[in-house]
């Protein structure tokens, strides 16, 4: 063991108490923590999406832990709060090294280190090996300027080192340090359909995605490669989750869980023999089969979410989904036939800036014609690092430089598309969700499927949260 303490932080999120939204745990920090622990470091995690933040309490924490390095992980709407945290750190002790990572850092690496001087270093790409090497160099007092995968300032100029290769063997990364995560009750749900009152955890059986959806920022960190963990390693992690933490629900957090069907069958068998009570996953309609959905149901799958984005084949093709409408219909009907309790479709209004009202009507028809349990209808957010961001910026369609505005719900979008103003985007979102969720048949079906007081509590809370957002715009 060496004597250097590392503090990892998920910074304050203004939407942390939003009951309408999903709230997950900082598993990316838990993976970095476990990797650092493997090499002898003492690591701490503070999740300010769970804990309340105040300057006084935070400074007391700094005094208690005495970290040499602090890492913050920031999505775009949290980058400013991450910078504020590091400003407090620098005022407390300017010798503490501050490091930023996460999706925003990956999307705009040079601009981020230029824009926020409270960050000493930025880690881009996959974080574990780069952050470990940075900590090792700091601990040993060695030069850090040749580390792959970092950005920093030297003599007033931004320097971006060459990228680091992805970790080939994912099983060389220890299980995430779940013991460092605070599992206090949060508002909303872990995933739509499952209250945060149940004890759940995310498991990643792979990293990356081979698809190139124009709105998705995952490629900024992992490119278009996908790497799979060995199924025996996955089983050991599942056993640990049950034995050491007593989780009652597993969220398989892969971008496309069923990309390899044979592997998905094997993982279903693992979940069955380890008596997992329930689990859910996200996947694509072109990587599923009727047989696989039946096996998923038998192994405890309670929900499957399909990324569809649009009912218009023209838009689907433009955004790089590589699916077709018949595949959407088949996948949902097969899931319904298999008896999977919740089937969700994710849609995005404005996923391509050329979207017209005719395209929206096709989306509306697709939503109405299929037996979804949930639909998520978001408005496009042009996240930095995505082709959508570059395209909309080039057309002067993004009217803000305030990263706090880049949220899915709760604020009027500060951007527009070719045919829709920001207000029209909101109006269309409300129209599509109203027609789905306030349909009397949908409400009746949900009431008929209530099986417990927990269900009652969840649906009443979700319904009131939806109505509050619909009428006030707040989440």
DSSP string, 358-401: HHHHHHHHHHHHS--SEEEEEEP---TTSHHHHHHHHTT-B---
Angstrom distance (rounded) from CA 203 to CA 261: 18
Question: For residue 333, what pLDDT is reported?
Answer: 98
pTM, to two decimals: 0.95
**Domain 188-472 classification at class level:** alpha beta
Element (H, E) at 97: strand 97-101
156: left (phi over 0), alpha (psi -120 to 50) or beta: left
Question: For residue 348, what pLDDT is reported?
Answer: 97
The token pair at 74 is 């920031």
- Average pLDDT, integer, range 194-204: 88
- CB burial of 208-246 (b: ≥16 within 10 Å; e: otherwise) equals bbebebbbbbbbbbbbeebebbeeebbbebbeebeeeee
Summarize pLDDT for 60-83 with one digit per residue, the tens.
Answer: 999 999 999 999 999 999 999 999
Question: For residue 377, what pLDDT is reported?
Answer: 96
Summarize pLDDT for 90-100 with one digit per residue, the tens.
Answer: 999 999 999 99
Domain ranges of the chain: 5-160, 188-472
The token pair at 347 is 């849609």
Question: For residue 443, what pLDDT is reported?
Answer: 92
Q: Give the model's confidence band at 22: pLDDT under 50 very low, under 70 low, under 90 confident, else very high.
A: confident
Summarize pLDDT for 403-444 with one digit per residue, the tens.
Answer: 999 998 888 999 999 999 999 999 999 999 999 999 999 999
Say if residue 169's pLDDT is above 70: yes
One of 3.40.50.300, 3.40.50.970, 3.40.50.720, 3.40.50.280 is the CATH number of 5-160, namely 3.40.50.280
Residues 280/301, Cβ–Cβ less than 8 Å: yes
Angstrom distance (rounded) from CA 37 to CA 69: 14
Strands 249-252 and 342-349: what pairing?
unpaired
- Average pLDDT, integer, range 359-364: 98
pLDDT-above-90 percentage for the chain: 83
Residues 229/194, Cβ–Cβ less than 8 Å: no
> What one-character DSSP code corresponds to residue 164?
P
Element (H, E) at 105: helix 103-107
Say if residue 185's pLDDT is above 80: no
Q: Provide φ and ψ at 28, rounded to 5°.
A: -60, -40
Say if residue 130's pLDDT is above 90: yes
Question: For residue 420, what pLDDT is reported?
Answer: 98
Question: For residue 284, what pLDDT is reported?
Answer: 96
Angstrom distance (rounded) from CA 105 to CA 94: 22
Reported as half-sphere exposure (CB side, CA atoms, 13 A), residue 340 has a value of 32
Does the CA dihedral 309-312-316-322 come out positive or negative?
Answer: positive
The token pair at 155 is 């003599």
Question: For residue 2, what pLDDT is reported?
Answer: 58
Say if residue 1's pLDDT is above 60: no
Angstrom distance (rounded) from CA 65 to CA 219: 35
Summarize pLDDT for 213-267 with one digit per residue, the tens.
Answer: 999 988 888 888 899 999 999 999 999 999 999 998 999 999 999 999 999 999 9
Q: Do domains 5-160 and 188-472 have the same CATH topology?
A: no
Angstrom distance (rounded) from CA 372 to CA 385: 31
Angle at which helix 325-338 crosses helix 357-369, to 10 degrees, equals: 20
For residue 431, how many other CB atoms are within 10 A of its CB? 14
Summarize pLDDT for 147-167 with one digit per residue, the tens.
Answer: 999 999 999 999 999 999 999
Question: Any idea how long the chain is?
Answer: 475
- Average pLDDT, integer, range 47-53: 92
Angstrom distance (rounded) from CA 82 to CA 243: 35
Reported as half-sphere exposure (CB side, CA atoms, 13 A), residue 87 has a value of 10
Angstrom distance (rounded) from CA 464 to CA 299: 33
Say if residue 190's pLDDT is above 90: no
Reported as half-sphere exposure (CB side, CA atoms, 13 A), residue 359 has a value of 22
Residues 355/316, Cβ–Cβ less than 8 Å: no
Summarize pLDDT for 262-308 with one digit per residue, the tens.
Answer: 999 999 999 999 999 999 999 999 999 999 999 999 999 999 999 99
DSSP string, 206-246: EEE-S---TT--THHHHTT-EEE--HHHHHHHHHHHHHHH-
Angstrom distance (rounded) from CA 352 to CA 94: 44
pLDDT-above-70 percentage for the chain: 100
CA triple 81-392-417, angle to 5 deg: 105
More confident residue, 171 or 456: 171
How far is residue 209 CA from its own chain's centroid? 14
- 10: exposed, middle or buried (Cβ count in 10 Å: 0-12, 13-18, 19+): buried
Summarize pLDDT for 311-321 with one digit per residue, the tens.
Answer: 999 999 999 99
Angstrom distance (rounded) from CA 474 to CA 355: 26
Angstrom distance (rounded) from CA 439 to CA 427: 18
Residues 6+ apart with CB under 8 A from 426: 379, 412, 413, 473
């Amino acid at each position: 063991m060496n004597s250097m303490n590392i503090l990892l932080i998920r910074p304050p999120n203004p939407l942390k108490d939003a009951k309408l939204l999903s709230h997950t745990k900082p598993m990316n920090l838990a993976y970095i923590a476990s990797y650092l622990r493997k090499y002898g470091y003492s690591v701490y995690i503070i999740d300010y999406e769970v804990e309340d933040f105040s300057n006084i309490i935070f400074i007391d924490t700094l005094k208690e832990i005495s970290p040499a390095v602090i890492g913050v992980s920031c999505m775009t709407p949290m980058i400013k709060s991450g910078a504020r945290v590091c400003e407090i750190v620098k005022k407390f002790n300017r010798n503490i090294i501050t490091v930023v990572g996460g999706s925003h850092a990956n999307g705009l690496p040079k601009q981020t280190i230029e824009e926020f001087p409270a960050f000493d270093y930025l880690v881009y790409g996959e974080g574990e090996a780069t952050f470990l090497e940075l900590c090792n160099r700091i601990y040993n007092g060695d030069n850090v300027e040749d580390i792959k995968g970092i950005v920093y300032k030297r003599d007033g100029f931004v320097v971006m080192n060459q990228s680091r290769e992805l970790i080939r063997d994912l099983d060389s990364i220890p299980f995430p340090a779940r013991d460092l995560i605070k599992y206090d009750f949060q508002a909303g749900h872990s995933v739509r359909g499952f209250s945060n009152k149940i004890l759940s955890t995310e498991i990643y059986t792979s990293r990356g995605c081979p698809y190139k959806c124009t709105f998705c920022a995952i490629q900024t960190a992992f490119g278009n490669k996908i790497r799979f963990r060995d199924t025996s390693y996955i089983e050991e992690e599942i056993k640990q989750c049950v034995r050491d933490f007593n989780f009652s629900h597993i969220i398989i957090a892969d971008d496309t869980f069923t990309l390899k069907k044979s592997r998905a069958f094997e993982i279903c068998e693992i979940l069955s023999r380890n008596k997992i009570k329930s689990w859910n996953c996200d996947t694509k309609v072109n990587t599923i089969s009727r047989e696989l959905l039946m096996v998923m149901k038998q192994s405890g799958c309670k929900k499957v979410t399909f990324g569809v984005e649009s009912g218009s084949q023209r838009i689907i093709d433009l955004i790089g989904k590589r699916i077709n409408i018949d595949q959407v219909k088949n996948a949902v009907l097969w899931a319904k036939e298999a008896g999977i309790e919740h089937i969700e479709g994710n849609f995005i209004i404005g996923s391509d800036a050329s979207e017209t009202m005719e395209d929206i009507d096709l989306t509306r028809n697709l939503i109405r014609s299929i037996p979804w349990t949930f639909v998520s209808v978001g408005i496009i957010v042009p996240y930095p690092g995505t082709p959508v961001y570059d395209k909309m910026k080039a057309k002067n369609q993004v009217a803000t430089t305030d990263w706090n505005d880049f949220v899915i719900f709760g604020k009027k979008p500060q951007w527009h598309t070719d045919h829709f103003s920001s207000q029209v985007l909101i109006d269309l979102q409300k129209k599509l969700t109203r027609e789905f969720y306030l349909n009397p048949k949908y409400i009746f079906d949900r009431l008929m499927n209530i099986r417990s007081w927990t269900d009652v509590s969840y649906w009443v809370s979700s319904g009131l949260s939806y109505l509050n957002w619909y009428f006030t715009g707040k989440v």
